[in-house]
């Protein structure tokens, strides 16, 4: 039984939250130091600047009038921009997350698997150079299509097979050979290069009239092979970051595409060849569709904004402010958990991150004043879930709603204010 006196005793004096903004380190998350840290920070900053430049129409060429080869001209073509967005995410993802959890006793000695990974890097690099060669041929006037046997053989044996072999080797070796947290595994370098090879080829092909050939016999076979490798890379990174649940769901539907013609009744589907299917995977009807559109235009900017807020330690301020406002109320730390979770939800838009940020402080305090551990955890989890529908961030769902329905994001955010407040108020009433 929790009394007001007990709650007051636990909240007397200043409660200084510290470390609320610190990110939890997952079991397979790498932690870099020294020059490696600076290199990864530079890549991340470049990735963020690229999106801000592309979305705001910045152009060094336009500012200076200097024609620098390969310098991007913004705004970029939509599909190319999304392809680069995915490729950059793959590079950062494979760099930051290992294929599996790091062992308790980490060993950094050289292994034959490391040598094998460096060998697998050769076909990945070869696929990159081959894709660049295709671009030069197209630039010189070669009519690229999926019918010419010479082009088909070149894409298959000099691009597709090396790319898929390197991708498969990188995934398998990465799983068999985890490294220490502060180093980048050679296998993950292979996967990053494979992601670059996919992007180079697709940008090259989609820059021609071949974009209109997806799903037809005229689509180059390299388009399908690049999509196979790209889909595999995306699914592997998803497994590392989010676990197996999404992979199982996606895998079931991928299998259904190719076995649907064998199923009875309403499950029966037309027979579709893998070439036709995968030639359409990297289009706006697949990977480059609304979800990637939202991720590359809205979500990335809010992530950058949240990173600045996190660096400024605004989370500590929010929790301390919540203690100042609700610390002496009936329920004590439980009311603080609700208020703080609502505030944190405004800047992070994620339930899990909200629990980690505020729960590390509020759950122990709730247990101290007499809440059962299960009740303390339930209050924090419920409050943090409400933070995901608290404007202006509201997680990825609001952005996808805006993209699919055509309703402006600001209208959705304004409409969500009352339900979000009512949700948090209802939890407060339950605690009361």
In percent, the amount of the chain with pLDDT more than 70 equals 88
3-class DSSP state for residue 359?
helix
Segment 177-196 shows an average pLDDT of 88
Task: Respond yes or no on whether the N-terminal peptide bond of residue 75 is cis (omega within 30° of 0).
Answer: yes
Segment 352-373 shows an average pLDDT of 80
More confident call, 347 vs 81: 81
- 97: which strand partners? 29
pLDDT classification of 294: cutoffs 50, 70, 90: confident
Note the pLDDT of residue 321. Answer: 76
Give the span between the Cα atoms of 262 and 271, in whole angstroms: 9
More confident call, 5 vs 80: 80
- How many CA atoms lie within 13 Å of 110's alpha carbon, on the beta-carbon side? 4
What's the mean pLDDT when you consider all of the chain? Answer: 83
Note the pLDDT of residue 69. Answer: 45
Distances (CA, A) of 29 to 55, 256, 354: 30, 33, 19
Segment 281-309 shows an average pLDDT of 84
Question: Which tokens belong to 196?
Answer: 């670059």
Residue 348 clears pLDDT 70, i.e. is over it: yes
Note the pLDDT of residue 22. Answer: 64
3-class DSSP state for residue 107?
coil
Note the pLDDT of residue 70. Answer: 43
Segment 94-111 shows an average pLDDT of 80
Quick: pLDDT tens for 117-135.
999 999 999 999 999 999 8
Note the pLDDT of residue 144. Answer: 82
Note the pLDDT of residue 10. Answer: 45
pLDDT classification of 5: cutoffs 50, 70, 90: very low
CA nearest neighbour of 274 among 252, 263, 259 = 259
Domain boundaries, the chain: 4-21+314-431, 34-281
Residue 3 clears pLDDT 50, i.e. is over it: no
Give the span between the Cα atoms of 366 and 126, in whole angstroms: 58
Segment 213-236 shows an average pLDDT of 91
């Amino acid at each position: 039984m929790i009394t007001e006196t007990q709650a007051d005793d636990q909240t007397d004096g200043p409660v200084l939250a510290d470390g609320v903004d610190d990110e939890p380190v997952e079991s397979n998350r790498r932690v870099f130091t020294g020059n490696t840290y600076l290199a990864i920070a530079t890549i991340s900053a470049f990735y963020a600047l690229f999106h801000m430049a592309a979305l705001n129409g910045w152009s060094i060429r336009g500012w200076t009038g200097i024609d620098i080869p390969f310098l991007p001209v913004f705004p970029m073509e939509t599909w190319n921009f999304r392809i680069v967005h995915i490729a950059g995410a793959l590079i950062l993802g494979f760099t930051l997350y290992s294929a599996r959890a790091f062992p308790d006793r980490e060993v950094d000695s050289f292994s034959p698997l490391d040598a094998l990974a460096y060998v697998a890097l050769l076909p990945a690099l070869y696929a990159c150079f081959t894709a660049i060669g295709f671009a030069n041929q197209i630039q010189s006037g070669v009519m690229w299509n999926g019918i010419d046997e010479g082009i088909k053989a070149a894409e298959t044996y000099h691009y597709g097979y090396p790319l898929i072999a390197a991708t498969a080797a990188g995934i398998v070796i990465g799983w068999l050979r985890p490294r220490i947290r502060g180093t980048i595994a050679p296998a993950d370098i292979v996967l990053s290069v494979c992601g670059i090879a996919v992007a180079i080829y697709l940008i090259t092909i989609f820059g021609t009239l071949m974009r209109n050939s997806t799903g037809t016999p005229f689509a180059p076979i390299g388009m399908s092979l690049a999509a196979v490798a790209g889909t595999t890379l995306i699914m592997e990174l998803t497994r590392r970051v989010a676990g197996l649940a999404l992979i199982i769901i996606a895998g079931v539907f991928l299998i259904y595409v190719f076995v649907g013609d064998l199923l009875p009744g309403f499950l029966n589907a037309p027979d579709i060849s893998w070439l036709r299917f995968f030639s359409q995977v990297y289009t706006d009807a697949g990977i480059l569709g609304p979800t990637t559109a939202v991720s590359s235009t809205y979500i990335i900017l809010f992530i950058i904004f949240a990173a600045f807020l996190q660096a400024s330690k605004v989370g500590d301020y929010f929790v301390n402010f919540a203690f100042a406002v609700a610390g002496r109320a009936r329920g004590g730390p439980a009311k603080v958990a609700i208020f703080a979770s609502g505030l944190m939800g405004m800047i992070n838009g994620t339930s899990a991150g909200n629990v980690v940020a505020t729960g590390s402080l509020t759950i122990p305090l709730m247990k101290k004043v007499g809440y059962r551990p299960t009740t303390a955890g339930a209050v924090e989890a419920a409050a943090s879930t409400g933070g995901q529908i608290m404007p202006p961030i509201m997680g990825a769902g609001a952005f996808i709603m805006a993209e699919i329905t055509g309703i402006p994001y600001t209208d959705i955010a304004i409409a969500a204010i009352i339900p979000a407040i009512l949700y948090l108020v209802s939890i407060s009433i339950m605690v009361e």
